[in-house]
Amino acid sequence: MSAKRVLIIYAHQEPRSFNGAVKDEAVRTLKENGYDVEVSDLYAMQFDATSSIRQFKGKPENPDHYDFQRELRHANKEGTLPKDVVIELEKLASADLLILQFPMYWMNLPAILKGWLDRCLTEKFCFDTARGMWFDHGPFTAKKAMLSFTTGGTASYFSKRGVFGDMDVLLWPIHNTLRVCGFQILPPHILYAPNDVSLPERQKMLSDWSTRLCTVFAEKPLDFVHIDNFDVQDGFQLSQNYMEQADKLEFGPTAGQNLGKSFQISCQGYKTESVVKNNNDEVS
């Protein structure tokens, strides 16, 4: 049996940064555990995070009006995707685990990493809504994905009472973007305020990261509402069957589909395990 493959998308300008150390620790640990590891160092690659008609090799589908997503779909069909995107898609296709390694900027992804998602999560390759191949039926349902990132603020800043707001809410758009492609989402690895702690504490952060990675493929993915619980005829809103069951619960299922309620999730040092079982209309 071939070794599991891990793709790390690394987005930091400084190799000697703590993010760089976290990335290096991941590469070392994963290789020592027999995994194949590949790193896309976006800044070192000078990855183009912008979208432009000039990036496409072939004739555009509509030369008079540039529609980025439409041209991506067309280029994938015609085999004329930009070379840098093709290279990343080849890496993604062979990966069993995707790790996004980054510093949180303004409560979000760095622009270069957001640009990687924008350009590389190509329709007809990473998802296909016309054929129903998205979310829990997407092309990447056998793959796992995880966010690993540093913050400037401490954990209290990102709490439900914190000045930056609940981390669950902040991460929801990123997690759900990956879910469109079918990824199983592992609990994020959050390294809070490494600049504000001592060297021994940062070393412990690296050690804890290494320990987690040794068994990362055995981890249980996060629970999300299964795509089959959404009614196609009702504009992909939660089905009446699901709503009737969830209405009996004190909490909503997730940050995204909260049903007007609070949501409560907790495990592994980060609030991640939903009180709702979100598969095939099963609610507990």
Q: By mean pLDDT, which of 26-30, 256-260, 272-276 is the weakest?
A: 272-276
The 3-state secondary structure of 198-225 reads CHHHHHHHHHHHHHHHHCHHHCCCCCCC
List the Cα angle 15/101/215 in 5-degree steps. Answer: 115
* Res 252: pLDDT: 86
Bridge partners of residue 133, in order along the sequence = 128
CA dihedral 83, 84, 86, 88 (to 10 degrees): 170
The mean pLDDT of 59-76, rounded to a whole number, is 85
pLDDT reading at 273 higher than 70: no
* Res 210: pLDDT: 98
* pTM (2 d.p.): 0.89
Give the Cα separation of 272 and 156 in Å (integer). 16
Q: Which residue ranges make up each domain of the chain? A: 5-222, 226-284
Q: By mean pLDDT, which of 22-31, 37-46, 55-64, 189-198 is the weakest?
A: 55-64
**CATH 3.40.50.360 is the classification of domain 5-222:** yes
pLDDT single digits (tens) 90-130: 999 999 999 999 999 999 999 999 999 999 999 999 999 99
Q: Residues 6 or more apart from 264 whose CB is under 8 A from it? A: 251, 271, 275
- 37 three-state secondary structure: strand
The mean pLDDT of 192-213, rounded to a whole number, is 96
pLDDT single digits (tens) 30-41: 999 999 999 999
- 41 three-state secondary structure: strand
Report the largest interatomic distance among the alpha carbons of the chain, rounded to a whole angstrom. 58
The 3-state secondary structure of 47-103 reads CCCCCCHHHCCCCCCCCCCCCHHHHHHHHHHHCCCCHHHHHHHHHHHHCCEEEEEEE
* Res 78: pLDDT: 86
